[in-house]
A = this chain, B = another copy of it.
Amino acid sequence: MTTPQLTKNQSLVFEVLEKAEGPLSAYTILDKLRDHGFRAPLQVYRALEKLLEYGVVHRLESINSFVACAHPGDNCHSHGIVAFAICESCGQVMEFHDHEVDHRLMGWVRGQKFKPEKTTIEIRGLCEACAA
């Protein structure tokens, strides 16, 4: 998917996520944008909806948070499942993908005649710095 020009609200939300060191909840984003006129959750959720659609932001289901894509410019997401390693101590997120994992998972579901739409892989744990 090619990313169209972002609207004002979309740009504001995206910039907050880009500058952040880790994933943010929608309400945290809202708080950071109050100075820019944001008043209600929906302003954030609507922007996020589009940013997710464009593939420039990911939602981390296991922690109800959002993060800017770590591979800007790539369109690798259209070819495979994205996986995340999330540090539960410092919040750092590593994003990666593995075609063999994709292949195994998609092979299994195809064998069940299941039609996959969206796959979540999230590994919570401790990053190198925090585990030390």
Identify the A interface with B (CB < 8 A).
Answer: 61-62, 83, 85, 87-88, 94, 96, 98, 100-101, 104-105, 108-109, 112-128, 131
Contact = CB atoms under 8 A, between A and B. Distances in A.
21 contacts: A61-B62, A61-B120, A83-B105, A85-B108, A94-B112, A94-B114, A100-B100, A101-B101, A101-B104, A105-B121, A112-B127, A112-B128, A114-B126, A116-B124, A116-B125, A117-B125, A119-B121, A119-B122, A120-B120, A120-B121, A120-B122
What is the oligomeric copy number?
2
Nearest to A116: B125
A85 B114 contact: yes
A12 to B, nearest CB: 27
